[in-house]
């Protein structure tokens, strides 16, 4: 597979890349402190834009350069006449030359530094300037206590660069971490803040380039973020003389006894996402219900491997796994589908069967595991997968030599030798049975319509997440059902090209 260019989306960077850019910017400015001053000023402007009426502001400063940014912000707030003060513990006295310089400038401006034990008083806002992207060690007990107190304060929290305790590369937190209301990233957006636990800790995100005018093109992005706006016009309009064969034939294989709804949802999504033809191979008992629900589907009850063979020969893409089961029936269909020369989208029990006995997969196969399935495939724990979702997705892609969609908060799409994409859409209401089956059918339909495997996976994951957000905004997250996504999925796929 050729590695695609990031023609859509926003590049995201890891700590190593950002530190290199920061060092280059400091050299250009001639004084490293000038960059810290700009960070403090940018943070003060962001605070004013976000909380214009906040008069009593507490800035919790750590010992490094992130703390220095906090001293600078507090200096600007103090000079603007706000009731602003720094809180810190003894262990967080400045340790870097730049942080000490910022602390001295703050004191010279008449700023106050109080012991953290004095508490937040009547503060209206807490600024988290404890630890930035350079944090590489476990937090000590005193630092953890400070973070727990911030989280327990009930006040809005403004984090500088990254919520303290969060790994801005991996998207995880080794222990306690600040739960921010809003985070201002410096220089460029961070890869880790849009996936995993970090996506729920960072709050809303903004970025300030600090007027550095640095060349980010010289640094390879760690990932590319895809937002709702990137979905528009992904599939072009159909020709006026198009026929159903032009849009591909998706075969959905699954639905063992008791789990027929899963394959029905996959078939629904394949049709609503534009496949020209959709067939379903399932248990005979499910055929009447499937046809009553969706007469457009060509459903066939499968009692033996031989009955599946002609269906595989006619298919252009196979969606394998929804409700398949891991028994004799499901295992037989799984083995036959994997031996066919047809593009595959594997989900659910197809992934569980793959974990039991690894197969060589075609390079254009697409795996769609949730963290539990990814853990079984890798032989890891779920916690290990979630601790570094980017690494887990990359490892799966390299292990199987194909495209991987690691589902969850901040879904990641990976492929060997390609920059991963992360989906900045979706919501907790989508954590309900059947959502994954819908995604499988969606990706299969896009693949059938001619998108390469990586593009189909990216577009499908984004479409699925954006449709989930639309459905949640209409009636709320709780009680959201997979079927609620079908109408917005269809609508977004028919949006015109980007301006």
Strand-pairing partners, residue 279, are 251, 298
Residue 16 to residue 377: CA distance in whole angstroms: 29
Q: Do 107 and 164 fall into the same domain?
A: yes
CB neighbours of 394 closer than 8 A, spacing ≥ 6?
414, 420
Backbone φ and ψ for 57, nearest 5 degrees, come out as: -125, 130
Report the relative pairing of strands 10-12 and 223-226 from DSSP bridges: antiparallel
E strands, 210-338, in order: 223-226, 249-253, 277-282, 298-301, 317-320
Q: What is the pLDDT of residue 84?
A: 97
Helix (H, G, I), strand (E, B) or coil at 444: helix
**Rounded (5°) CA angle 1-410-233:** 60
The domain that holds 26 is classified in CATH as 3.40.50.10260
Q: Do 253 and 198 fall into the same domain?
A: no
Backbone φ and ψ for 236, nearest 5 degrees, come out as: -75, 170
Residue 39 to residue 36: CA distance in whole angstroms: 5
Residue 190 to residue 183: CA distance in whole angstroms: 11
Residue 261 to residue 290: CA distance in whole angstroms: 8
Closest-CA residue to 70 (of 156, 186, 152):
186
Does residue 33 form part of some domain?
A: yes
DSSP 40-73: HHHHHHHHHHH-TT--EEEEEE-SSHHHHHHHHH
Which residue range forms the structural domain that includes residue 283?
230-493
Does residue 453 form part of some domain?
A: yes
The domain that holds 481 is classified in CATH as 3.40.1190.20
Mind listing the pLDDT tens digit for each residue in 278-291?
A: 999 999 999 999 99
Q: Do 242 and 131 fall into the same domain?
A: no
**Rounded (5°) CA angle 438-440-443:** 110
Closest-CA residue to 469 (of 450, 454, 496, 491):
491
Count up the domains in the chain and report the number.
2
Q: Do 191 and 323 fall into the same domain?
A: no
Report the relative pairing of strands 366-367 and 421-423 from DSSP bridges: unpaired
Q: What is the pLDDT of residue 3?
A: 52
Mind listing the pLDDT tens digit for each residue in 460-487?
A: 999 999 999 999 999 999 999 999 999 9
Residue 351 to residue 221: CA distance in whole angstroms: 30
Tokens, residue 444: 């299969």
Residue 301 to residue 498: CA distance in whole angstroms: 43
Q: What is the pLDDT of residue 495?
A: 82
Tokens, residue 339: 């031996």
Spacing of C-alpha 344 from chain mean position: 23
Of 221, 249, 275, the residue that ends a domain is 221
Residue 425 to residue 485: CA distance in whole angstroms: 13
Residue 454 to residue 289: CA distance in whole angstroms: 34
Residue 323 to residue 352: CA distance in whole angstroms: 11
- 346 near 365, Cβ under 8 Å? yes
Q: Do 75 and 163 fall into the same domain?
A: yes
Helix (H, G, I), strand (E, B) or coil at 252: strand
Q: What is the pLDDT of residue 337?
A: 97
Q: Do 201 and 79 fall into the same domain?
A: yes
- 33 near 249, Cβ under 8 Å? no
Of 221, 246, 273, the residue that ends a domain is 221
3-state class percentages of the chain: helix first, strand second, coil last, to nearest 5: 45, 15, 40
Q: What is the pLDDT along the chain (499 residues), one digit of tens a residue?
A: 555 544 799 999 999 998 888 888 888 888 889 999 999 999 999 999 999 999 999 999 999 999 999 999 999 999 999 999 999 999 899 999 999 999 999 999 999 999 999 999 999 999 999 999 877 778 899 999 999 999 999 999 999 999 999 999 999 998 899 999 999 999 999 999 999 999 999 999 999 999 776 667 778 999 999 999 999 989 888 889 988 888 999 999 999 999 999 999 999 999 999 999 999 999 999 999 999 999 999 999 999 999 999 999 999 999 999 999 999 999 999 999 999 999 999 999 999 999 999 888 999 999 999 999 999 999 999 999 999 999 999 999 999 999 999 999 999 999 999 999 999 999 999 999 999 999 999 999 999 999 999 999 999 999 999 999 999 999 999 999 999 999 999 999 998 655 4
Q: What is the pLDDT of residue 134?
A: 78
Q: What is the pLDDT of residue 174?
A: 84
Q: What is the pLDDT of residue 339?
A: 94
Of 221, 246, 265, the residue that ends a domain is 221
């Amino acid at each position: 597979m050729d590695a695609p260019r990031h023609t859509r989306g926003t590049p995201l960077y890891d700590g190593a890349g950002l530190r290199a850019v920061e060092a280059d910017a400091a050299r250009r400015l001639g004084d490293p402190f000038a960059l810290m001053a700009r960070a403090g000023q940018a943070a003060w402007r962001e605070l004013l834009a976000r909380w214009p009426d906040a008069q009593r502001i507490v800035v919790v400063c750590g010992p490094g350069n992130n703390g220095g940014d906090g001293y600078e912000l507090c200096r600007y707030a103090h000079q603007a006449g706000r009731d602003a003060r720094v809180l810190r513990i003894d262990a967080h006295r400045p340790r870097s030359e730049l942080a000490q310089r910022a602390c001295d400038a703050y004191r010279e401006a008449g700023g106050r530094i109080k012991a953290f034990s004095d508490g937040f008083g009547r503060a209206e806002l807490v600024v988290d300037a404890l630890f930035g992207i350079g944090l590489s060690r476990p937090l000590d007990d005193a630092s953890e206590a400070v973070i727990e107190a911030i989280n327990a304060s009930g006040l809005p929290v403004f984090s500088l660069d990254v919520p303290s305790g969060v790994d801005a590369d991996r998207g995880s937190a080794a222990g306690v971490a600040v739960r921010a209301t809003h985070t201002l990233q410096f220089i460029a957006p961070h890869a880790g803040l849009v996936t995993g636990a970090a996506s729920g800790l960072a709050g809303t995100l903004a970025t300030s380039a600090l007027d550095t005018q640095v060349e980010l093109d010289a640094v390879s992005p760690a990932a590319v973020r895809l937002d709702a706006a990137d979905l528009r016009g992904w599939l072009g309009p159909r020709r006026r003389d198009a026929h159903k064969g032009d849009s591909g034939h998706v075969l959905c294989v699954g639905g063992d006894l008791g789990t027929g709804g899963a394959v029905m949802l996959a078939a629904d999504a394949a049709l609503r996402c534009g496949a020209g033809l959709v067939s379903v191979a399932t248990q005979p008992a499910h055929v009447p219900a499937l046809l009553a629900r969706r007469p457009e589907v060509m459903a066939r009850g499968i009692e033996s491997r031989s009955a599946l063979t002609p269906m595989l020969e006619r298919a252009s893409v196979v969606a394998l796994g929804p409700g398949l089961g891991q028994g004799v029936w499901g295992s037989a269909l799984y083995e036959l589908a994997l031996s066919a020369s047809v593009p595959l989208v594997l989900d659910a029990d197809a992934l569980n069967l793959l974990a039991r006995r690894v197969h060589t997969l075609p390079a254009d196969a697409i795996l769609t595991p949730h963290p539990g399935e990814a853990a079984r495939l890798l032989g890891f724990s779920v916690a290990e997968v979630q601790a570094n979702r980017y690494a887990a997705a990359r490892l799966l892609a390299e292990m199987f030599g194909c495209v991987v969609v690691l589902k969850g908060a901040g879904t990641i799409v990976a492929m060997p030798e390609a920059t991963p994409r992360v989906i900045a859409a979706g919501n907790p209401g989508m954590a309900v049975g059947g959502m994954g089956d819908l995604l499988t059918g969606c990706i299969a339909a896009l693949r059938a319509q001619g998108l390469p495997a990586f593009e189909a996976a990216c577009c499908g994951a984004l479409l699925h997440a954006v449709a989930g957000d639309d459905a949640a905004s209409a009636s709320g997250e709780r009680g959201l059902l997979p079927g609620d996504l079908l109408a917005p999925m269809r609508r977004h796929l028919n949006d015109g090209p980007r301006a």
